[in-house]
Amino acid sequence: MARDGTNRGGRRVRAGSKPEPLVDRLADGRTGRVLSVDGPPEPYDFTGIDTDEGALLSGVDMPEPSAYLAAQQRDGTPLGADEIYRETWEWLADKGCTQFVSKRLLEAYAQSFARFIQCEKAISDFGLLGKHPTTGAAIASPFVAMSQSFQKQANVLWYEIFDIVKANCTTDYTPLPSDPMERLLQGR
């Protein structure tokens, strides 16, 4: 650290080889480390006991999405981010990675993606051109820039979620199908 308090020199950020996904390391016969919420995994006890009616299994309930994700919009329609939240949670539950992704990260992704869809709908309704408020000349629609901004934000959040899944999933991972987006875009 320099006298003025700035960091100088050292390793560049994101330099070096990228981490390999856990499923690929396991497929190659190498060991991998899985994040655990409760600490390091304990070795399994393989001695059996009589469970009579079976083991009591407890599942993890999906945390309810916040109310703002389903808030009614100015035109009277719901935002629809709660549906995206639920679909993403189900995908994470299928991959066994729900405990690694925070609720707030999922909500931020769902809201950004819903706003992107909302901007695309506005572009479809109002067109790519707008009218300048003072001169009356044709200008580019502000919804185009907003759409690009929300899409970029949603992609950054999705990559963050997907990196968590890629690093901790022991099964094959695939991204969400494009069906939810197509369904939301076609549901005018």
What are the extents of the domains in the chain?
Answer: 102-188
pLDDT score, position 155: 95
pTM of the model: 0.64
pLDDT score, position 169: 80
DSSP annotation of 171 reads S
pLDDT score, position 89: 93
DSSP code per residue over 98-135: GGGS-HHHHHHHHHHHHHHHHHHHHHHHH-SEEE-TTT
Q: Which residues of the chain have pLDDT under 70?
A: 1, 33-60, 172-188
pLDDT score, position 64: 85
Among 4, 9, 10, 32, which Cα is nearest to 20's? 32
pLDDT score, position 175: 54
For residues 165 and 23, give the distance between their C-alpha atoms in angstroms, rounded to a whole number.
Answer: 10
pLDDT score, position 184: 65
pLDDT score, position 174: 58
pLDDT score, position 168: 84
